[in-house]
Structure 1
Amino acid sequence: MPLLSDLKVVEWSTWIAGPGCAAVMADWGAQVIKVESAAGDATRTFWPDTAECPGNPIFSNENRGKRGVVLDVGKAEGRAALITILQDADVFITNVRPGALKRARLDYDSLKDELPALIYANVTGYGLTGADVDTPAFDLTGFWNRSGVASAINPPDREPIGSRPGFGDHVTALATLSGVLAAVHERARTGRGRQVETALMRVGCYALGWDMSIKLRNGEALTAQPRHTRPGAIAGYFRTKDERWICVSQRGPNDFPQMMRAVGRADLIEQPRCAAPIVDMAVVHEIRDLLDRVFEALTLEEACAMMKTTDIIFAPMASLDDVIADPQAQEAGCFVDMPDGWGGSFKAPAAPVRFPATATGPAGPAPKLGEHTRQVLAEAGYGQAEVDALIAAGAAS
C-alpha cells in the first residue's frame, strides 16, 4: 500500500514550492487535488503540452499524480466549493500571499474553527507577519538573495550569479513537507490540525546554516573569497586538460599527504612550511600552482582516476548530460518515468527520498486544466445540476 494513501491533500498554489511539496506527497501515495484559476498555474505556459509535443516538463514535474480542479474563489459559489472539498481533507497547501488569503476569507484563522482537523500549510516569501508579509517573492529573491545565500556564494571580485530556477523552491518544498508530516504525526495523537508555515527567506537562512551560525556566534564568518585569497591549499576547483573542472574538498590533515603522494610530490609532506594548517599564503599559492599544473595535464577521466587512489573527497563538475548518463545516478534513483498524459512517458527527476522495497513515483500525469473538476465536485457531494450551475456561473470550469 502506498505510504500516504490515507491522506487527502488539497493544494491551491502556483509555480514551484507549494506544488512541489504536494507533488512529493502524490508520489508517496497521497490523493492530491490541485485547485487552479481559469488562467491556470503559470508554469503551464512554459512549454507546450500537445499531442505533437506531449508533456510539459516543468508543470509535470511539480504536478504529476494530482487531479485538477478549476474554481474561481473570488465568487461566493467558488469559495463555497473549495470549503466543501476541504471538509474531509487532511492537508491544505497554499502559497497565495497572506493578504489575499485574508481578503478571500481563506486564511487559517478564517477556517480553523470550521475545519479543526485540517493541517493548513502556508508557503510564504517572508513569513506571516512583518512589513514584508505581502511583498512578492521568488526563490531567486527570498531564498537566494535576501537570506544571504547569494552573498555567501558569490566571490566579491565578480558579477554575482543567480540561482537556477526553482532551486530554493525545491528546498522550501521539502521543508514544507517535513512540517506537514510532523503535523500529521501530532494530529494522530491530538485529533487536531494546525497551521504550518515556511518562508523562502527562513529556509535560505537554514540552508546557509554553516556560515550563518558562525556569523551569529562570532560576529564574522569567512564566505566566498577570490581564489588567490582563499586558504586551503588543495581545496577548490581545478581545470583539466579537456577544459572540464574537478572539485576537491579537504576534510582533515591527512588529505594533504595523500594528495602529495598522488601527484608525486611526497617530498613536500615533511617540510615544516607545509605543516598543517598551512597559513602562509605564499605556500598556499605554491601548492595550488603545483596542483593546477598537475590537473591541466590530465583529462577529467584521468583526474578522477587519480583521485580515486586516495580517500580525499572529490567530484567532477558534471553537466546535465553527464548526470543523465551516469550509471551511479541510475543506481541512486535520480530519475523516474513520467506519464505524459498522452499515452507515453518521459524521464523526470525523482523525489529525493526512496523507501527500499516500496514502490513510489508518479501516480499519473499532471492534470489538464480543470480535467477533474466535475469528478472532484461530485465526490464532495455536488449533484450534476449543481455542478452545471457552478460552471454556468463561472465559479468552476
Structure 2
Amino acid sequence: MEAIESLFSTLNVVDFASYVAGPAATTILSDFGATVVKVEPPGTGDPYRHFYKAPPNPVSDYNYPWQLTNRNKQSLVLDLKSPDAKDVLVRLVKWADVVVVNFPPSVKEKLGLTYEALAEVNERLVYADITGYGAKGPEANRPGFDVTAYWARSGLMDVTRDGNSPPTVPIPGIGDHATACTLYSAIVTGLYRREKTGKGSHVSTSLIAQGAWASAMWIEGGLGGARFYGTQSRKAPQNALLNPYRTSDDRWLLLILLQDKDWFALAKAMQLPSLLADPRFIDGRSRADYATDLVNILDVEFARHPLAYWKAVFDEYRVVYGVVQVADEVVNDPQMYANDIFVPLAEPGNGATHTVSSPLQIAGVTKVPPRRAPELGEHSCAVLRTLGYDEAEIARLISGQVVA
C-alpha cells in the first residue's frame, strides 16, 4: 500500500472560505493528507458552525455538518480587517501551496485577498476561487448559496417536482458538495501545472456553473432549440418506464427501463404478457403516447405486493429499478460500508461513530482517518508558531485582538 506521505502530506492549504463548497474542497485535500489551516473571523467564526441548529436539519446536539466539512483541519482566528493582520496574512501565503477563498470580488479587493495581491507574495501559489454567480457580470457580487445559485437558477428546482406542485427545497449542500469536487479537481490541475511550469495559477468555479453542468443534458438541448415537454407529472409522465411507483406497504421504487429488452423483462416479471400484445405499448413511441394508460395499469399491479416482493422478482428478471430509501435505510446501507463511503471516525464522540468519506478513491492510497473538526481558534497559537512567531509576538497579537 502506497504511504499517504507520498501524496499530499507536504501540501499546505489555507482555507479562507465559509459555509460549504470551498471548505468541502479543502476537506478532500485533507483526506489525502494535506495540512489545512482554516482561517475564521473572531466572534462566531465561520457562520456554518451554527447551521446545524436551523430547521429543517435533523435535530442533534452533535454538530454533524461542521464535523463533515471541517474534519482534519486547524482553526486560526484572524481579524482580516485589522491592519495588524497583514503580516500574518503574508506569512500564511508564503507558507501555503494552496489558498481557497469564496468572497465576492469587492470583498476580496477590500481585504487584500485578490489573486494578484497574493501572487506577488508567492508566485507558486495555487489560488482557488469560488463564487455564487461567477466573477464577472452584473451579479458578480451577489451572495450565492447552493439552493439559489445551483439548484434554483439552473432549472433543477423547476423540473424536480411533480406536476404543478410547488418547488421543494432540497437537502442543504447538494450543489455545494458537487461544486467542491469541481474545485478540488481545479486545484489538483493547478498543482499539476505548477509541477510543469514552476508557476502557480488562479483556478475557479462557481455554484451557477456547476448547476448548469449538472443540468447540462437538457440545457444543451435548449441551446440547440429543442422543444421541452414541460412539467413532469407522475400520473401523466412522458415516459411511464422512467417513473416512481408505490407498493402495497406504502414504499416507492423507481423504474428506469431504457431498452426494449427491459420492457420485455418487466412484462414477464410482473406476469403481464397482455402488455406485450397491446397495440398501445407496441413500441417506445406508442408507450410514450399512452404513458398515462400504462401508469394506471402499473399502479394497480404494484399496489398488490410489498416492496420486498418486487425487489426479489425484479432482481430475478434483471429489471432495472432503484428503491427510494428512507433515512434509517441509508445510514444502515451495507453497500455504503462495503465501499468505504461511510468510514469510522478516528475520534468517535457524541454518539457518532462514522462519517461520509469524500467520493474520490485512488487505488493503493489510503485516506487519513477522519479526525475531529476544530473548535474555534483551537490552533491559533500553534499555527502562529509554525509561521515563525515567538511567544511574545503571539501574546501581542492576541492582546491586540488580531488573533483569538
1:328 matched to which residue of 2?
335
Structure 1 residue 69 corresponds to structure 2 residue 65: no
- Cα deviation digits, residues 85-130 of structure 1 (max 9, x gap): 1202110011122211101111112222222110111111011111
2:15 matched to which residue of 1?
11
1:107 matched to which residue of 2?
114
Given residue 31 of structure 2, which amino acid in structure 1 is its aligned partner?
D
Structure 1 residue 318 corresponds to structure 2 residue 322: no
* 1:218 partner SS: coil
Kindly report which structure 2 residues correspond to 1:73-84, keeping only aligned pairs within 5 A, or say none. Answer: 73-84=80-91
Partners of 2:394 and 2:349 in 1: CA distance: 27
Structure 1 residue 198 corresponds to structure 2 residue 202: no
- Cα deviation digits, residues 160-192 of structure 1 (max 9, x gap): 112211111111111111111111111100111
- Cα deviation digits, residues 309-335 of structure 1 (max 9, x gap): 233321100012111222112112221
The counterpart of 2:362, out of the listed 355, 368, 373, is 355
Which portions of structure 1, spanning 4 or more consecutive aligned residues, are displaced by more than 6 angstroms?
Answer: 341-344
Given residue 147 of structure 2, which amino acid in structure 1 is its aligned partner?
L
1:34 matched to which residue of 2?
38
1:22 matched to which residue of 2?
26
Given residue 102 of structure 1, which amino acid in structure 2 is its aligned partner?
E
Summarize the Cα distance change of 1:228–1:388 in structure 2 as closer, same or farther, 3 Å threshold.
same
Percent identity (aligned): 28
Structure 1 residue 371 corresponds to structure 2 residue 375: no
* 2:401 partner SS: coil
Partners of 2:289 and 2:75 in 1: CA distance: 62
Partners of 2:189 and 2:228 in 1: CA distance: 33
- Cα deviation digits, residues 338-397 of structure 1 (max 9, x gap): 345869853221111223443214442111111111111111111111111111111101
- Cα deviation digits, residues 216-237 of structure 1 (max 9, x gap): 1234334641234322233200
Structure 1 residue 132 corresponds to structure 2 residue 139: yes
Partners of 2:40 and 2:365 in 1: CA distance: 31
Q: RMSD of aligned C-alpha atoms?
A: 2.0
Q: Conserved in 2, the CA contact under 8 Å of 1:9 and 1:31?
A: yes
1:177 matched to which residue of 2?
184
Summarize the Cα distance change of 1:229–1:363 in structure 2 as closer, same or farther, 3 Å threshold.
closer
2:65 matched to which residue of 1?
58
Given residue 215 of structure 2, which amino acid in structure 1 is its aligned partner?
L
**CA shift at 1:210, angstroms?**
1.2
Summarize the Cα distance change of 1:282–1:21 in structure 2 as closer, same or farther, 3 Å threshold.
closer
1:146 matched to which residue of 2?
153
TM-score by length of 1: 0.93
Given residue 114 of structure 1, which amino acid in structure 2 is its aligned partner?
V
Q: Conserved in 2, the CA contact under 8 Å of 1:240 and 1:297?
A: yes
1:382 matched to which residue of 2?
389
Q: Tell me whether 76-85 or 366-375 shows the greater mean CA deviation.
A: 76-85
- Cα deviation digits, residues 21-62 of structure 1 (max 9, x gap): 1111111111111100112111222458xxxx9852111110
Which runs of no fewer than 5 residues in structure 2 stay unpaired?
Answer: 54-59
Partners of 1:285 and 1:148 in 2: CA distance: 25
1:216 matched to which residue of 2?
223
Q: Conserved in 2, the CA contact under 8 Å of 1:127 and 1:199?
A: yes
Summarize the Cα distance change of 1:341–1:101 in structure 2 as closer, same or farther, 3 Å threshold.
farther
Partners of 2:116 and 2:243 in 1: CA distance: 50
Partners of 1:55 and 1:284 in 2: CA distance: 47
Given residue 33 of structure 1, which amino acid in structure 2 is its aligned partner?
V
Partners of 1:248 and 1:238 in 2: CA distance: 8
Partners of 1:95 and 1:281 in 2: CA distance: 45
Given residue 31 of structure 1, which amino acid in structure 2 is its aligned partner?
T
Partners of 1:19 and 1:36 in 2: CA distance: 11
Partners of 1:187 and 1:365 in 2: CA distance: 31
Summarize the Cα distance change of 1:58–1:280 in structure 2 as closer, same or farther, 3 Å threshold.
closer
Partners of 2:218 and 2:378 in 1: CA distance: 46
Structure 1 residue 163 corresponds to structure 2 residue 170: yes
Partners of 1:373 and 1:84 in 2: CA distance: 14
Q: Tell me whether 288-297 or 176-185 shows the greater mean CA deviation.
A: 288-297
Partners of 2:288 and 2:375 in 1: CA distance: 59
Summarize the Cα distance change of 1:225–1:54 in structure 2 as closer, same or farther, 3 Å threshold.
closer
Summarize the Cα distance change of 1:292–1:57 in structure 2 as closer, same or farther, 3 Å threshold.
same
Partners of 2:288 and 2:68 in 1: CA distance: 47
Q: Conserved in 2, the CA contact under 8 Å of 1:40 and 1:369?
A: yes
Partners of 1:341 and 1:328 in 2: CA distance: 22
Q: Conserved in 1, the CA contact under 8 Å of 2:81 and 2:111?
A: yes
* 2:322 partner SS: strand
